[in-house]
Chains A and B, each alone.
Chain A
Amino acid sequence: MTKISELDHRGRDAPQRAPTAGGGSAHSSNPDLGGADVAEVFARLFDTHARPLRGYLAGRVGEHAADDLVAETFLTALRRRDTYDPTQAPIRGWLYGIATNLVRTHVRQEIRGLRATAREHGRRADESGSGHDANVADRVDAQRSTQRLASALAELGQQERDVLLLTSWAGLEPAEVAAALGIPASTVRSRLHRVRRRLQAILAQSPTLTVVENER
């Protein structure tokens, strides 16, 4: 049995404070961020979530901005920790919600990045030619798929992109995506289904039908 600190249950304070070192990992997905041991709780939070969070952010806004957004995500979480209710949702959805809100302040950067990716992969596919070598053909197909996907993602609505990438890149469950975006889980599922179907149709198109729009 591992003793944890005394719990100060004021108002909406967490029912079970995040365990201190060595104990209570079963509750670490819903830590109490408001305890006196805030540095320890945030150290644990950072060590658990910062790396995958950086990957998610780097995928969306690029590596250059990712570190700043990771820092800003955790500093925002620290600043707003009294608004996190561990009885309502796991911490991951809440953290990614903060991060995704920050991404929205970089939306032009994200879209520029996606369009640049589309152009780059289109160029590579063009340069690879259309030879009969199977390896070359597979490589060209892959380049075209990435080109079409990047182009399509740039044209998606913000929330559709959020739903898709929180699920695919961040690995969040629909309930966590719902918590992150503030929409019902059923809406997450239906949007995810819809956007995936649309993207699948785009990927199935003939490469000649793919249009990469110019950067606005």
Chain B
Amino acid sequence: MNDQTELDRALDELHREARTADAPLTDVRATVLAAAATSAPVARRRRRFLPAVAAAAAVAAAVAGAVVFVPDGPAPTPTPGASVAAPEPTTEQDVTLLSARQVLNDAADLTITAVDRPIAPGQFLHISEHGEHTRSWMTLPAVGRPESTTTGYTLLAGSRRDVWIPQDYTQEWLERRAVIGEPTWLGGTMPESEAPPMTPSDTDEGEWRGRCGDFFPLSKPVKVCGAPDDWDSPAFYQGLPRDAAQLHQWLIDTTAHRGSTPSGMFHYGVQVLRAGLMPADLRADWYRALAMIDGVRVFGTVTTPDGRSGLAIGLDEQRERRELILDPTNGDFIGERMVAGPEPDMSWIPPGTVTSLVSVTTTVVDVMG
């Protein structure tokens, strides 16, 4: 008997009865769908709005690079950060020649001495995102009619998201979302005047409150306060190693279910930064870990919606690349940008189009809301 056939036959026979059993999955299906039916808003919590370019909202409090929760009691005395001279201005053409690894490592050097601004009892951490993101309407070819084509259009819409977190993060949080301004036309398969109307969804605008950031307590699975895998929780950051190589490996492991691709690792790294809760003592190693990802490079200088200037770092992507924006003068993460790649998701969006630009600021304030 042919060895190949022998092995395949043996594999086919092994545990065949168990593998082909026609056991009912009705109960399992009901369990899954019951959880899915009540979980919709949670998905939006992380797939959050890319914040609004036009609304450069004034932030009253001083911007802190990173903030961490401290226990009740006297506020610790912050250690002064190193004074850093701003580098010589560079041109757009110059910065794209910079090594992204060097930029990230320089940012790590700058942020290594940073300390978190303490939050006193009664104060709040305020994370503000604003900018623009795309909204698309489209149709897909109908089943059995391959000759039909995809049609649609895309708008660039402004939005704002603000979250206030109390010093004791297990207490009530506040989140507000708002649509900013009128969307602008990015492109479509039909003239703008013929485009069907598109209205904001019920999670685009509104206000939510919830202890421990659990704004949707009926959702399943239940949000566990302080869960080690929830980057909205200080426990998530406390559990991470303070070592760049270990963090790099951690990114590989964490994104293993998506293939640990460089873009997947980078995407995850930016997503965590964007949550706005990363403590100062982790940030430098986080940057160095991102610098270890294959393919990172500088794509230019970017002015964020709130007027700050930074270097955009990302990886080449066929469809759309995600870039983090770093302030090279102090190593702060100040926002992110998305740019259509050579083969954009929507065929009507020209390659190179900025599909989102967002500012992220983290401040300590005395009042919620």
Contacts and interface: CB of A to CB of B under 8 A. Distances in A.
Interface of A: 1-4, 6-16, 19, 22-27, 33-39, 41-43, 46-47, 50-51, 54-56, 58-60, 62-63, 66-67, 70-71, 74-75, 78-85, 87-89, 93-94, 97-98, 101, 113, 117, 142, 145-146, 148-150, 153, 164, 168-169, 178-183, 196, 199-201, 203-204
Nearest to A164: B11
A39 B37 contact: yes
Nearest to B140: A24
B18 interface: yes
Contacts of B320: 12, 15, 87
B138 A146 contact: no
B19 A59 contact: yes
B260 interface: yes
Of residues B19, B140, B145, which shows the largest number of chain A Cβ atoms within 10 Å of its Cβ?
A: B140
A42 B7 CA distance: 36
Contacts of B338: 11
A75 B138 contact: no
A13 B47 contact: yes
Main secondary structure of the interface of B (DSSP, over half): mixed
Given A25-B143, A203-B10, 17 more contacts: A1-B151, A9-B345, A11-B47, A13-B47, A16-B138, A23-B139, A63-B18, A63-B21, A78-B36, A78-B221, A82-B46, A88-B261, A168-B8, A180-B257, A182-B253, A182-B257, A200-B4
Given A6-B135, A46-B32, A200-B6, A149 B14 contact: yes
Interface in B1-54: 3-4, 6-15, 18-21, 23, 25, 27-29, 31-33, 35-37, 39-40, 43-44, 46-50
B362 interface: no
Which 4 residue pairs are nearest across A and B when measured between Cβ atoms?
A15-B345, A182-B256, A24-B140, A7-B136
Given A16-B345, A78-B32, A199-B7, A182 B259 contact: yes
B298 to A, nearest CB: 21
B258 A23 contact: no
Given A33-B43, A38-B39, A98-B257, A15 B319 contact: yes
B148 interface: yes
